[in-house]
Amino acid sequence: MRFFPAGEAGEAASREYRSDIGQIQLQPEYGCCKSSDVLVTFARSETGSTLATISRRDGVMLALPGFDKKHRVPHDLAHFAAERHLRLPGGVFGSIASGGVFSNMRVIAGRPRHDAAARSSRILRANKRALGLAEVMADVIHNAVEQGGEQLAPRDARKTWASLAGGPFPWTDQQIDDAICCLAELAAGYQRDGVVQAEWPDSLRNAGLGNSGIRRGRRGRR
């Protein structure tokens, strides 16, 4: 799951985020998942890549194909773990939960609302920078599990943040560790069974209309 194009276009897109990345909203921790949460199912497709099925709380079910056959640990799982534990409501899964639909997705069940296309466009446009941050932080978490660099992940996360925004690092080492543990558990289940499910909390929905200031978790900075 990539949201920057490859090559020079990707470099230009990445640079565009740097000046404003520090203004991205992070949601505080609200406790356990609720029954209204979005259910995400990651399954191995016939081609060997990952297929994510997202069951939204409005009854709509969407399919999101992955393109990650070369990785032992699917990159889509890294997005979920990183965005969940780093509290990024404007990332991939928060955007989808709020009504965003990426160009490679399709509706497989349910009836979208009458203004679904316009709403999706508004959400994805508003979350553009947050999606860029989610991409690079997912890479950090993915590399830690894929390559066995868990101990270096907090350092790598700080270096990545500094290259994008500078300023105080908005997460604790524990949050980085939690994201890594979450990804390791999801990857183990996926490799064992070919399918794994997880809940995306309702507190991490973002319709793209919130304020732009950073809200930090209860654990504070480190």
pLDDT tens-place string over residues 41-83: 999 988 888 999 999 988 999 999 987 767 789 999 999 999 9
CA angle 33, 139, 180 (to 5 degrees): 45
pTM higher than the cut 0.75: yes
Over the stretch 168-191, which tens digit does the pLDDT of each residue have? 999 999 999 999 999 999 999 999
What lies within 8 Å, CB to CB, of 176 at 6+ separation is 85, 86, 140, 141, 153, 154, 157
Q: Is the pLDDT of residue 33 over 90?
A: no
* Structural contact between residues 48 and 168, judged by C-beta atoms closer than 8 angstroms: no
What six digits make up the tokens of 166? 């500078």
Over the stretch 70-122, which tens digit does the pLDDT of each residue have? 778 999 999 999 999 999 999 999 999 999 999 999 999 999 999 999 999 99
Q: Hey, where are the domains in the chain?
A: 37-202
Mean pLDDT of all residues belonging to the chain: 81
* Structural contact between residues 176 and 160, judged by C-beta atoms closer than 8 angstroms: no
DSSP state letters, 67-105: --TT-SS-HHHHHHHHHHHTT-TTSHHHHHHHT---TT-
* Structural contact between residues 92 and 14, judged by C-beta atoms closer than 8 angstroms: no
How many C-beta neighbours within 10 Å does residue 20 have? Answer: 14
Residue 28: its pLDDT value, please? 44
